[in-house]
């Protein structure tokens, strides 16, 4: 059997699959060009046999056919973040151990040296889709791994989450039932394509259902509003920071513009928020402007989506609803006993969408599951009046900024390698725009009054842009408890709360 996603595309033949600035592509185009990519990747072999291939391609047509091409050739896709500096890309390459890297022509500079040092071939995405006679496309079992997505853990560097084709199919099927995806749907996509939010909830859900996914290469609030105002987008999904930015742009617009924009959003059948806690004020303002009550849902790279407010029925502000179709969700205490309704507990999840392993980390994989197979999310919640409310992470060292999960310890580790830094504590300051605003308090070895600025430049070279602290303060000493451990709630007090 071939992949269900591909089988289904055969039936959608002349429907529009992808819209990008350069043009419009049908499902037949998608099948033909991804077949070409698969043929070129195989170059005479029968099957890539789960060989990893890194993708460094911006959101667009090339990205979609590259992803499908790798899958159809029997490979495992490792989408990399196009915003990452070479140091972060090098980490992913070292960890995933790919057989090749597919890069967009505009990103070759970023990856060229890294690949050469490791003797890895770099294939240009545009060259891979130059049509040639197709070879026989292999049969790919659904139990096979399909992609590895990198996500921050509590301890240090990011880990690769291995998702099988079956995991992805289960994720898409669950969302299809819950949110009634269908072939009339037309969704706008501007989220990065190295996370489940953009890849599964938006791109693959649209393609599974014969809908249309319209891709903007990056987020721009005015562009999104303008596009919505054409009133043919049926679904819109984003992280809370994006909704906050849309609201701020709307406030700056004149009356006629506001009316046109709002009428576009009003025409959607559903607008969804997730990946981080949605502030109730954002939900209320969005509803006031557009008449749309945002549907908030909760998910994670390791599990896809687990909890969702209902499509029909009451969506309570501040709550994320209940288990999605096919998912089991429970709350437990420290001894792994179920907690009663109204009591806070740790969220555990089980179901066909849940990943099997962290790539190359069997110990971490084992520690992430209970003996009876529940995935331990590390998030806390409470059930009140029959719906889940997320309370936050169990660890103060995992932060969410603009929907990106980051480890405070990873950032501290990098800053501490600077010779002028003696101590460092990274915290997330609550912020209406970013969710957590990343801030660092440091104790300096010397008296350099330019150290904070130097450190930002130092961090920028080594870390993804969203991990670079927005504010760095030099302090005389870090607050500690009686055991000598830095107390992060005390560190937070160094910084001024929410600028919004």
Q: Measured from the CB of residue 21, what is the shortest distance to ligand AMP in angstroms? A: 28
- Residues recorded for the chain: 500
- Binding residues for ligand AMP, rule: CB under 6 A, are 151, 274-277, 296, 298-301, 320, 377, 379, 390, 393, 400, 405
Structure tokens at 414: 């990098």
Our CB check for ligand MLC shows the closer of 115 and 438 to be: 438
| Residue 267, both tokens | 């025409």
Q: Report the residue from 72, 434, 463, 492 that binds ligand MLC according to the rule CB under 6 A.
A: 434
Cα separation of 352 and 154, whole Å? Answer: 25
Tokens encoding 259 = 């009316």
Nearer to ligand AMP, 2 or 395 (CB): 395
> How far, in Å, CA of 10 to CA of 27, rounded?
7
Nearer to ligand MLC by C-beta: 164 or 241? Answer: 241
Q: Is 466 in the site for ligand MLC (CB under 6 A)?
A: yes
Give the E-state strand segments of 32-179 in sequence order. 52-56, 76-79, 100-103, 122-124, 145-151, 159-164
The Cα 10–Cα 34 span in angstroms is 13
Angle between helices 451-462 and 408-415 (to 10 degrees): 120
DSSP 404-435: EEEEHHHHHHHHTTSTTEEEEEEEEEEETTTE
Stretch that binds ligand MLC, among 50-58, 279-287, 296-304, 337-345 (CB under 6 A): 296-304
Asked whether the beta carbons of 213 and 198 are under 8 A apart, the reply is no
When the beta carbons of 290 and 301 are compared against ligand AMP, the nearer one is 301
Instruction: Residue 465: name its binding partner from ligand MLC, ligand AMP, none (Cβ under 5 to 8 Å by kind).
Output: ligand MLC
Among ligand MLC, ligand AMP, none, residue 198 binds (CB under 5-8 Å by kind): ligand MLC
Sheet holding 328-332, edge to edge: 328-332, 345-350, 375-384, 387-393
Tell me which of 74, 79, 145, 198 binds ligand MLC, using CB under 6 A.
198
For residue 290, give the H/E element and its range: helix 280-290
Q: Which is nearer to ligand AMP, 171 or 275 (CB)?
A: 275
Residue 219 sits in the site that holds ligand MLC (CB under 6 A): yes
75 scored as a contact of ligand MLC (CB under 6 A): no
Q: Does 402 bind ligand MLC (CB under 6 A)?
A: yes
Residue spans of beta strands (DSSP E) within 6-115: 16-20, 23-26, 52-56, 76-79, 100-103
Considering only CA atoms, which of 329, 282, 299, 309 is closest in space to residue 431? Answer: 282
Residue 290: which of ligand AMP, ligand MLC, none does it interact with, CB under 5 to 8 A by kind?
none
Q: Provide, rounded to whole angstroms, the least separation between the CB of residue 434 and ligand AMP.
A: 14
Which stretch in 60-68, 180-188, 293-301, 408-416 sits in contact with ligand MLC by CB under 6 A? 293-301
Shortest gap between Cβ of 6 and ligand AMP (angstroms)?
A: 26
Among 170, 301, 309, 407, binds ligand MLC (CB under 6 A): 301
* Closest C-alpha to 236, from 193, 280, 282, 205: 205
Site for ligand MLC in 225-254 (CB under 6 A): 239, 241-242
The span from the CA of 270 to the CA of 292, in Å, is: 7
**498: which 2 tokens?**
């929410």
By CB under 6 A, the residues from 404 to 423 that bind ligand MLC are 404
91 binds, among ligand MLC, ligand AMP, none (CB under 5 to 8 A by kind): none
Q: Which is nearer to ligand AMP, 66 or 377 (CB)?
A: 377
Question: What's the rounded Cα separation, in Å, for the pair 444 and 455?
Answer: 11
- Residues near ligand MLC (CB under 6 A) are 191-192, 195-198, 219, 239, 241-242, 274-275, 299-301, 401-404, 434, 465-466, 468
């Amino acid at each position: 059997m071939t992949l269900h996603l591909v089988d289904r595309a055969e039936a959608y033949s002349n429907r529009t699959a992808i819209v990008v600035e350069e043009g419009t592509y049908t499902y037949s185009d998608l099948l033909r060009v991804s077949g070409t990519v698969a043929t070129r990747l195989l170059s005479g072999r029968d099957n890539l046999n789960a060989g990893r291939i890194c993708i460094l391609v911006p959101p667009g047509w090339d990205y979609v056919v590259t992803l499908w091409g790798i899958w159809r050739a029997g490979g495992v896709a490792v989408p990399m973040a196009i915003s990452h500096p070479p140091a972060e890309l090098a980490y992913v390459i070292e960890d995933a151990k790919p057989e090749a890297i597919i890069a967009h022509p505009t990103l070759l500079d970023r990856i060229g040296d890294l690949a050469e040092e490791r003797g890895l071939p770099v294939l240009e995405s545009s060259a891979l889709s130059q049509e040639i006679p197709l070879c026989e496309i292999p049969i790919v079992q659904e139990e096979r791994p399909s992609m590895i997505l990198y996500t921050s853990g509590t301890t240090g560097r990011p880990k690769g989450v291995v998702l099988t084709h079956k995991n992805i199919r289960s994720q898409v099927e669950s969302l299809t039932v819950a949110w009634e995806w269908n072939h009339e749907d037309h969704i706008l996509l501007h989220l990065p394509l190295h996370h489940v939010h953009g890849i599964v909830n938006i791109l693959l859900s649209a393609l599974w259902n014969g809908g249309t996914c319209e891709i903007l290469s990056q987020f721009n609030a005015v562009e999104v509003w303008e596009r919505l105002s054409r009133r043919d987008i049926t679904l819109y999904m984003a992280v809370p920071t994006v909704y906050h930015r849309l609201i701020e742009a709307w406030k700056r617009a004149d009356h006629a513009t506001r009316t046109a924009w709002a009428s576009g959003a009003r025409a959607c059948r559903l607008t969804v928020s997730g990946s981080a806690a949605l502030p109730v004020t954002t939900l209320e303002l969005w509803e006031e402007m557009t008449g749309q009550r945002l549907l908030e849902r909760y998910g994670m790279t390791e599990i896809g989506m687990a909890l969702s407010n209902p499509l029909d029925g009451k969506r309570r502000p501040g709550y994320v609803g209940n288990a999605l179709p096919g998912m089991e969700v429970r709350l437990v205490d420290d001894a792994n006993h179920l907690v009663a309704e109204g009591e806070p507990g740790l969220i555990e999840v089980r179901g066909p969408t849940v990943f099997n392993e962290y790539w190359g980390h069997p110990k971490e994989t084992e520690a992430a599951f209970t003996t009876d197979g529940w995935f331990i999310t590390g998030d806390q919640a409470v059930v009140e009046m029959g719906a889940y409310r997320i309370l936050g992470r169990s660890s103060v060292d995992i932060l969410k900024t603009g929907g990106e999960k980051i480890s405070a310890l990873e950032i501290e580790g990098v800053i501490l390698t600077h010779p002028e830094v003696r101590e460092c504590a990274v915290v997330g300051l609550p912020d209406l725009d970013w969710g957590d605003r990343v801030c660092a308090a440091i104790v300096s070895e010397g008296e350099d009054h330019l150290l904070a600025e130097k450190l930002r430049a130092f961090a920028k070279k080594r870390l993804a842009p969203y991990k670079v602290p927005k504010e760095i303060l030099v302090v005389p000493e870090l607050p500690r408890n009686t055991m000598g451990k830095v107390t992060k709630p005390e560190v937070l007090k160094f910084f001024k709360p929410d600028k919004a």
